[in-house]
Amino acid sequence: MNDDIRAREVRLVGPESEQLGIKPIREALQMAIDANMDLVNVAPQAKPPVCRIMDYGKFRYEQQKKDKEARKNQKIVDLKEVWFRSNIDEHDYQTKLRNVIKFIGEGDKVKASVRYRGREIAHAAVGQRVLERLLTEVNDICNVERLPKLEGRSMIMILAPKNNN
Instruction: Report pLDDT digits (tens) over 17-31.
Output: 788 888 888 888 888
pLDDT for res 93: 92
pLDDT for res 165: 40
- Side by side, the strands of the sheet bearing 109-115 are 79-85, 109-115, 154-161, 142-151
User: Residue 50 pLDDT more than 90?
Assistant: no
pTM: 0.55
Q: Looking at residue 113, what DSSP letter applies? A: E
pLDDT for res 33: 84
pLDDT band at 40 (very low <50, low <70, confident <90, very high): confident
Number of Cβ within a 10 Å radius of residue 57: 10
From CA 25, how far away is CA 38, in angstroms rounded?
13
Measured at the CA of 64, the angle between CA 62 and CA 70, to 5 degrees, comes to: 105
pLDDT for res 97: 93
User: Residue 164 pLDDT more than 70?
Assistant: no
From CA 22, how far away is CA 106, in angstroms rounded?
54
Q: What percent of the chain has pLDDT over 70?
A: 98
Q: 67: helix, coil or strand?
A: helix
Q: What mean pLDDT do residues 102-117 have?
A: 90
* Between 158 and 31, residue with greater pLDDT: 158
Instruction: Report pLDDT digits (tens) over 58-90.
Output: 888 988 998 888 888 777 778 889 999 888 899
Q: What CA–CA distances, in Å, run from 118 to 22, 84, 85, 122, 154?
A: 80, 15, 12, 9, 12
Q: What mean pLDDT do residues 21-46 have?
A: 83
User: Residue 102 pLDDT more than 80?
Assistant: yes
